[in-house]
Structure 1
């Protein structure tokens, strides 16, 4: 599910898509499209191309100060076939883990341990995640965080 790109109007696109997923509405029916962004000119191994495709189709996030979860209630992210892992590229060092949810939006479980991110570096927070899984990031602190997520 493409919920945003690094371009004008991203915040609105991401907000609409989050609300759509949280309410069980497809982003397409909520007027959210992929914006036509495609990764081109990728060379190297299949793994390199897969990573470029995964990261190239990232979402931009802004977690407000005072919040621990991203996205905030009632929204969820949903894993896609673009990425085998759940990745984050935060603008600053943050401790984060992933909480997984059932199809009825109830909590399934949260990872036991936090992963420490490094500013402006992609970090895998959860690996080998099936497609179509609902999740939210859980930050250790409630301070502001902004960056990118790919899943």
Structure 2
């Protein structure tokens, strides 16, 4: 009440806590089940062998889970290996018409994203010649992306992200628009990781 009326709070020593509770002032805790700092572990409180084993096991499990989570974090080599390790192959002939992948002739009619990758990644094999094409992703629910990712000289044998932050379980296809169709056609191939 005195603080509300403008009176000064009583001064305290520098080592005195700002609260009046004696348990907290002695370095203790008000949490249920915690012993005050004044009681030492050996003073009447025994830790059972089962409790020590449980703590050791809980620490080992937590450490293992943390290590596994860090090992597969996005941007790490382990994440890239798990993402690209599940890639599926694609093949297509250069055409004046846009090509949709996958096509129902060679496999499933749609691909479905997984938890391995957060993005959809596209790879063109290097031995197939220069892949001059634009690529975009077409989702079942929302339709095709408005922008195209361009592939050309120097893009072979490299992963390129063509859609980011895609939810797991999303069905999609990939549309390829060839900018240059060599006379006699040419067959291209690569991988898609999702």
**Structure 2 length normalisation: TM-score?**
0.48
Q: Structure 1 residue 60 and structure 2 residue 89: aligned?
A: yes
Higher fraction of helix? 2
Match of 2:117 in 1: 83
In the alignment, what sits opposite 2:100? 69
Pair member with larger Rg: 2
The aligned residue for residue 52 of structure 2 is: none
Moved over 3 A (4+): 64-67
Q: Matches of 1:137 and 1:150 in 2, distance apart?
A: 12
CA contact (8 A) 1:77 1:136 kept: yes
Secondary structure in structure 2 of the residue aligned to 1:140: strand
Instruction: Note the alpha carbon deviations across 1:94-129, whole angstroms, 9 max, x for none.
Output: 320000003xxxxx3101111023111000000000
Match of 2:81, SS state, is helix
Unaligned runs of 5+ in 2: 1-70
- Cα distance in structure 2, aligned partners of 1:148 and 1:45: 21
TM superposition shift of 1:81: 0.3
Give the match for residue 30 of structure 1.
Answer: none
Output aligned runs, 1:1-150, within 5 Å.
46=73, 47-48=75-76, 49-66=78-95, 68-73=99-104, 75-91=109-125, 92-93=130-131, 94-102=133-141, 108-117=142-151, 118-141=155-178, 144-150=187-193
Tell me which moved more, 53-62 or 128-137. Answer: 53-62
Structure in which a larger fraction of residues adopt strand: 1
Q: Is the 8 A contact 1:87 1:122 kept in 2?
A: yes
Runs of 5+ consecutive residues of structure 1 not aligned to the other structure: 1-43, 103-107
RMSD across aligned positions (CA): 2.3
Q: Alpha-carbon deviation of 1:45?
A: 7.6
For these two proteins, the number of residue pairs brought into alignment is 104
Q: Which deviates further from its counterpart, 112-121 or 139-148?
A: 139-148
TM-score when normalising by structure 1: 0.61
Say whether the 8 Å CA contact 1:114–1:140 is kept in structure 2.
Answer: no
Secondary structure of the residue aligned to 2:82 is: helix
